[in-house]
Amino acid sequence: MNKGLGLDWWDIAIHVFVTCCVAVVFSEGLHTQEDVALPMIFGGSALLLGIRRHLALKKQGLSDGLSTGEMAAERIADLEARIAELEMAQTRVAELEERMDFSERLLTQQSHESRTVSREP
């Protein structure tokens, strides 16, 4: 959780608690404009959480100036490169298996021929 958000569960729990407390206080005091106040409070809380996340990731050195979409695209590109390497390795293993089978057949054939030659008088 700390690597993904830059914040741990405790920070998020405190953020949610404070947001709920502020929402309750404003909803009790503003009965007439309650329809506008609560969405603004929760929207502001989400914005504040985003800013805290950005600062925490920057402090940890995980942000590197990339947005979430750019980080996902970079990760996908890295995974595609790894898949390509694995496919090449699987092709190489298949070729080696074929060579090994061929060598085993040759050795078996030579062994069989040497047995038949040694048995002849």
Which pTM value belongs to this model?
A: 0.41
User: 3-class DSSP state for residue 120?
Assistant: coil
Q: 41, 65, 89: which is the final residue of a domain?
A: 65
Given phi > 0 = left and psi -120 to 50 = alpha, else beta, which region is 61? Answer: left
The last residue of a domain, from among 25, 49, 65: 65
Do the Cβ atoms of 42 and 61 come closer than 8 Å? no
Residues 4 and 61 reside in one and the same domain:
yes
Task: Identify the pLDDT of residue 67.
Answer: 66
In the chain, the number of structural domains is 2
The answer to whether residues 86 and 54 belong to one domain is no
Could you tell me if 15 and 48 lie in one domain? yes
Give the domain range for residue 6.
1-65
Among candidate residues 65, 83, 113, the one where a domain is terminated: 65
**Identity (one letter) of the amino acid at 94?**
A
Task: Report which of 118, 114, 8, 20 is spatially closest to residue 60, judged by C-alpha positions.
Answer: 8
Please count the residues of the chain: 121
Identity of the amino acid at 96: L
Q: pLDDT tens digits, residue range 52-111?
A: 887 877 777 654 555 677 778 888 999 999 999 999 999 999 999 999 999 999 999 988
Residues 40 and 88 in one domain: no
Task: Give the side-chain half-sphere CA count within 13 A for 25.
Answer: 7
